[in-house]
Amino acid sequence: MTGCGAPEGGVALADVDAGDQAVIQGTVTRDGRPLRGAYARLLNESDDFVGEVATGDEGTFRFFAADGTWKVRVLASQGFTGEYPVLAEVGKIVNLEVQA
């Protein structure tokens, strides 16, 4: 997938301390390998678009969010789309494992 203008992700998931923020992060894989170039979109409770990142070499993405209910939509090559409801809480990290 190309052309959306999202910054490329590739964050190191072990290198974050939630502190006073809510963190939503994950890894996108296909056939057991990290998937580069997938897009993770953060949507609020009303399904409004909030942000988007593209996965890098490690297949990872990360969002910092407010407390509440969110949805992560992952889009990848070969027509893959997946949606994952998330409850974000300050001081906690939510980890998603997406198999595209």
User: Which CATH number do you get for residue 55?
Assistant: 2.60.40.10
Residue type, 19: G
What pLDDT score does 82 carry? 98
Report the number of distinct structural domains present in the chain.
1
In a domain, 6, yes or no: no
In a domain, 7, yes or no: no
Q: Looking up tokens 């409801």, which residue turns up?
A: 85
In a domain, 2, yes or no: no
Q: Taking Cα atoms as reference points, which of 68, 61, 62 lies closest to residue 89?
A: 68
In a domain, 63, yes or no: yes
**In Å, how far are 54, 56, 72, 76 from 6, measured between CA atoms?**
6, 11, 15, 13
Helix or strand run (H / E) with residue 68: strand 68-76
Q: Taking Cα atoms as reference points, which of 17, 87, 15, 21 lies closest to residue 58?
A: 15
In a domain, 70, yes or no: yes
What pLDDT score does 21 carry? 85
Instruction: Give the residue-averaged pLDDT of 55-76.
Output: 95
DSSP 13: G
pLDDT top residue among 72 and 20? 72
Q: Name the residue range of residue 19's domain.
A: 13-99
In a domain, 49, yes or no: yes
Residue-wise pLDDT for 4-24, tens only, equals 444 555 556 666 677 788 999
